[in-house]
Amino acid sequence: MPGPAAVAPGPVAATATQDATEALPDAPVPPAMAEAIEDFGNVLTLERGRSDHTLAGYESDLRQCAAWLAAHRGARDWRDVTAAQAMDWLYSLGGDRFAVSSLARKLSALRGFARHLVREEIRTDDFTALLQGPKRVRRVPGTLTGAEIGRLLAAPQGGDPFALRDRALLELFYSSGLRVSELAGIALQQVDLENGFLRVFGKGAKERVVPVGGRAVEALRVYLAAGRPAFVKGRTGSALFLSERGDPLSRKTLWVIVQKYAARAGIERGVKPHQLRHSFASHLLGGGADLRSIQEMLGHANLATTQIYTAVEDKRLVEQHAKFHPRNRE
């Protein structure tokens, strides 16, 4: 039996892009709607362990939606919002202003919030149940070659504390395939150099054990002995990687460090921190590791997320065939 049809843009939705522009995140939000968003944020933080970054994104999207609904559809309470009005808001975000991934994230935030309203008995129905978002085309992640990785990891030269820190940081990043937020948040007590692993608390505060390669272990030993003590200040906590002020390294600083050494290594194309994570997974797959193991190390909840790396390997095989097979040469 076919499922329920998605809500189609009717006459109201058709005019949404004509009579409305995107409401700014700081536009007025009715008090009742703002209070419900705040309650949802508390649930995400206290019960589900979502990160501050995720929470800020969800709250921004929901406040944007509430402000638009108030300004253009007269909404004052989430109890009165209809599926058609929610679709109007999504249509108002169309055009080239937002990437498909951004639109999908906004819809995901609204769907999660709508389910929250039902659980809290604020509404009896999920007004987003029939909404359809834009189709996302899964892009093959950008990766670095083995040679580029080698040059990148060798880029921090010298024995000063900064070089020792950055060498250990890059080695661990590539060795364990951590997310940038996970790397920034690693504490001393999560690292077991004797047994070569670390405990990571990823999305949703889910714990996983990740192996640490021999070179990363050695780089970390040197950093802990001769590098980290130079950064420690009176207020310093247990963060593994420290800034010059003795604070945990921020995501922004990690970004700067990766780009600095990528340029020093002569890698001309832009290099982003998450490409080390992608390279970790792609190189493991190319070396014969099974997808399930890679899924566990990356902390993916769904194997389908990990399977995107097979596209990287398939692309490499096609390129190798085109380059070396005798029937492909001139």
Catalytic residues: 179, 203, 274, 277, 300, 309
- For residue 62, the Cα-to-chain-centroid distance in whole angstroms is 19
DSSP 195: T
Helix (H) or strand (E) run with residue 30 in it: none
Q: What angle do CA 232, 238, 242 make, to 5 degrees?
A: 45
Cβ atoms within 10 Å, residue 23 = 21
List the structure tokens of 259: 């780009």
Q: How far apart are CA 69 and CA 67, in angstroms?
A: 6
Partners of residue 239 on adjacent β-strands: 187
Q: How far apart are CA 38 and CA 63, in angstroms?
A: 10
Q: How far apart are CA 148 and CA 151, in angstroms?
A: 5
Q: What angle do CA 51, 53, 58 make, to 5 degrees?
A: 95
Q: How far apart are CA 251 and CA 257, in angstroms?
A: 10
254 near 273, Cβ under 8 Å? yes
- Amino acid in the structure at residue 10: G
**Total number of residues shown for the chain:** 330
Q: How far apart are CA 199 and CA 212, in angstroms?
A: 10
Name, in order, each residue with C-beta under 8 angstroms of 230's C-beta and a sequence gap of 6 or more.
Answer: 161
Backbone torsions φ then ψ of 127, nearest 5 degrees: -75, -5
Q: What angle do CA 306, 44, 183 make, to 5 degrees?
A: 50
31 near 104, Cβ under 8 Å? no
List the structure tokens of 269: 């194309």
